[in-house]
Amino acid sequence: MHIYGLRIKLQALLAVTTFAFSLSVSANGITVGGTRIVYPAEQKVRTISVSNSSKHSTFLVQSWVEDALGKRTHDFVVTPPLYSSGPGDENTVRLIYVGGHPATDHEELYYFNSKAIPSIDKDSLQGKNMLLIATVTRLKLFLRPHGLKLAVDQAPSKLTFEQNNGNLIIRNPTPYYLTLCGMKVGSTELETLMVAPNGSEAVPMKGMAGDSITFHTINDYGATTPEQRSSILKKSLQ
């Protein structure tokens, strides 16, 4: 017999219930296929693979979608929203967009969440204290309109970089969300960041020296693209 629950408390990405001793069960056997999801707006349904790599553990898996602000949204229906995944199971979750008319000229950002709660053999709990850990996998979900004029693989080359008031301004004039990684100005390495469509991000340039930047982006499949180099423009003082 299996039971789920045992006073699970969600904190950030981990849901943890603690008692005084040290028996531990982790939901690290559940894997969601891919590192990001692109949902073509004209598509009726998008399937997501969720697998259980554990040879012994069963998990209760709960899935839902949040908007760009991290609030649960009804723009997408996830089915099944809750199911049991046994050892070695390969499951499929269906994602269906049911929101209003999406933007037609740029992507919209959501987050797909999948929480895996390990099951516990009731008999094994007798006389034992335990630590139960449930994990949440969170993937970026991009709702992409049909017929965008610029091809997605051409978007990174449209990025511009400008030095302004001690900041490096990264501008994205494209209709896509672009994630930059492996950025380097001179010998200074910059943290990974995402720039919204037709948006910009400012990075403090303190300690940086150089008139160009090298960077990679992350494509639709979660892979890192080849390195690119771009000049850093300096805004003229008026």
Q: Is pLDDT above 80 for 97?
A: yes
**Choice among 23-27, 56-60, 81-85 with the minimum mean pLDDT:** 23-27
Q: Please report the pLDDT score of residue 29 as a whole number.
A: 85
Q: Is pLDDT above 90 for 18?
A: no
> Predicted confidence band at 20 (pLDDT cuts at 50, 70, 90)?
very low
For the chain, the average pLDDT equals: 86
**Alpha-carbon gap, residue 199 to 59, rounded angstroms:** 40
Contact 15, 9 (CB under 8 A): yes
Q: Domains in the chain, please, with CATH?
A: 9-144 (2.60.40.10), 152-234 (2.60.40.10)
| 67 φ, ψ (degrees, to nearest 5) | -80, -175
Q: Return the residue matching tokens 């996830």.
A: 78
Encoded tokens for 153 = 């693989």
**Alpha-carbon gap, residue 74 to 97, rounded angstroms:** 9
- Percentage, residues of the chain above pLDDT 70: 83
Q: Please report the pLDDT score of residue 7 as a whole number.
A: 35
What pTM does this model have?
Answer: 0.83
**Cis, bond preceding 204 (omega within 30 deg of 0):** no
pLDDT in tens, 117-136: 988 766 666 667 767 788 99
